[in-house]
Protein backbone atom coordinates (compact mmCIF):
# COMPACT_ATOMS: atom_id res chain seq x y z
CA UNK A 1 0.00 0.00 0.00
CA UNK A 2 2.87 2.37 0.78
CA UNK A 3 4.46 1.68 -2.55
CA UNK A 4 1.23 2.46 -4.36
CA UNK A 5 0.92 5.77 -2.47
CA UNK A 6 4.47 6.85 -3.32
CA UNK A 7 4.11 5.67 -6.89
CA UNK A 8 0.93 7.74 -7.27
CA UNK A 9 2.57 10.74 -5.59
CA UNK A 10 5.49 10.45 -8.00
CA UNK A 11 3.19 10.31 -11.03
CA UNK A 12 1.24 13.36 -9.79
CA UNK A 13 4.46 15.30 -9.18
CA UNK A 14 5.78 14.30 -12.61
CA UNK A 15 2.59 15.43 -14.34
CA UNK A 16 2.60 18.74 -12.46
CA UNK A 17 6.27 19.33 -13.24
CA UNK A 18 5.78 18.45 -16.91
CA UNK A 19 2.89 20.91 -17.22
CA UNK A 20 4.89 23.65 -15.53
CA UNK A 21 7.89 23.05 -17.83
CA UNK A 22 5.64 23.06 -20.91
CA UNK A 23 3.96 26.28 -19.79
CA UNK A 24 7.32 27.95 -19.16
CA UNK A 25 8.63 26.75 -22.54
CA UNK A 26 5.54 28.13 -24.28
CA UNK A 27 6.03 31.51 -22.58
CA UNK A 28 9.62 31.58 -23.85
CA UNK A 29 8.52 31.38 -27.49
CA UNK A 30 8.00 34.58 -29.48
CA UNK A 31 4.23 34.00 -29.44
CA UNK A 32 4.22 33.51 -25.68
CA UNK A 33 6.31 36.63 -25.14
CA UNK A 34 4.01 38.61 -27.42
CA UNK A 35 1.01 37.49 -25.35
CA UNK A 36 2.75 38.59 -22.16
CA UNK A 37 3.71 41.95 -23.62
CA UNK A 38 0.19 42.39 -25.01
CA UNK A 39 -1.32 41.65 -21.61
CA UNK A 40 1.03 44.10 -19.94
CA UNK A 41 0.17 46.78 -22.50
CA UNK A 42 -3.57 46.25 -21.99
CA UNK A 43 -3.07 46.57 -18.24
CA UNK A 44 -1.01 49.73 -18.71
CA UNK A 45 -3.60 51.21 -21.06
CA UNK A 46 -6.33 50.53 -18.51
CA UNK A 47 -4.30 52.20 -15.77
CA UNK A 48 -3.60 55.25 -17.95
CA UNK A 49 -7.28 55.51 -18.87
CA UNK A 50 -8.28 55.31 -15.23
CA UNK A 51 -5.72 57.97 -14.32
CA UNK A 52 -7.04 60.23 -17.08
CA UNK A 53 -10.60 59.81 -15.82
CA UNK A 54 -9.50 60.69 -12.28
CA UNK A 55 -7.69 63.79 -13.54
CA UNK A 56 -10.73 64.93 -15.54
CA UNK A 57 -12.99 64.42 -12.52
CA UNK A 58 -10.60 66.43 -10.36
CA UNK A 59 -10.44 69.20 -12.93
CA UNK A 60 -14.23 69.40 -13.10
CA UNK A 61 -14.48 69.52 -9.32
CA UNK A 62 -11.90 72.31 -9.13
CA UNK A 63 -13.61 74.24 -11.91
CA UNK A 64 -16.92 74.05 -10.02
CA UNK A 65 -15.19 75.36 -6.88
CA UNK A 66 -13.64 78.26 -8.80
CA UNK A 67 -16.97 79.15 -10.42
CA UNK A 68 -18.56 79.26 -6.96
CA UNK A 69 -15.80 81.59 -5.73
CA UNK A 70 -16.25 83.88 -8.76
CA UNK A 71 -20.02 83.94 -8.25
CA UNK A 72 -19.60 84.88 -4.57
CA UNK A 73 -17.09 87.57 -5.54
CA UNK A 74 -19.54 89.03 -8.05
CA UNK A 75 -22.28 89.12 -5.43
CA UNK A 76 -19.99 90.94 -2.99
CA UNK A 77 -19.07 93.49 -5.68
CA UNK A 78 -22.73 94.10 -6.53
CA UNK A 79 -23.62 94.60 -2.87
CA UNK A 80 -20.70 97.00 -2.44
CA UNK A 81 -21.70 98.93 -5.58
CA UNK A 82 -25.32 99.13 -4.37
CA UNK A 83 -24.15 100.31 -0.96
CA UNK A 84 -21.92 102.98 -2.53
CA UNK A 85 -24.78 104.14 -4.75
CA UNK A 86 -27.07 104.45 -1.71
CA UNK A 87 -24.44 106.45 0.17
CA UNK A 88 -23.94 108.80 -2.78
CA UNK A 89 -27.70 109.25 -3.11
CA UNK A 90 -27.99 110.09 0.58
CA UNK A 91 -25.14 112.57 0.37
CA UNK A 92 -26.62 114.18 -2.73
CA UNK A 93 -30.00 114.44 -1.00
CA UNK A 94 -28.65 116.34 2.02
Query: In angstroms, rounded to a whole number, what is the distance separating the alpha carbons of residues 39 and 45?
Result: 10
Domain ranges of the chain: 2-93
Is residue 33 within 8 A of residue 27, CB to CB? The reply is yes
Low-confidence stretches of the chain (pLDDT < 70) are 94
In percent, how much of the chain has pLDDT > 90? 57
Q: Is the pTM of this model over 0.85?
A: no
What pLDDT score does 15 carry? 96
Quickly list DSSP for the chain.
-HHHHHHHHHHHHHHHHHHHHHHHHHHTSHHHHHHHHHHHHHHHHHHHHHHHHHHHHHHHHHHHHHHHHHHHHHHHHHHHHHHHHHHHHHHHH-
What pLDDT score does 94 carry? 60
Amino acid sequence: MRRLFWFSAGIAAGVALTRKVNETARKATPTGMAEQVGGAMRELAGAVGSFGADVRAGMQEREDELQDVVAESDQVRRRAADHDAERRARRAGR
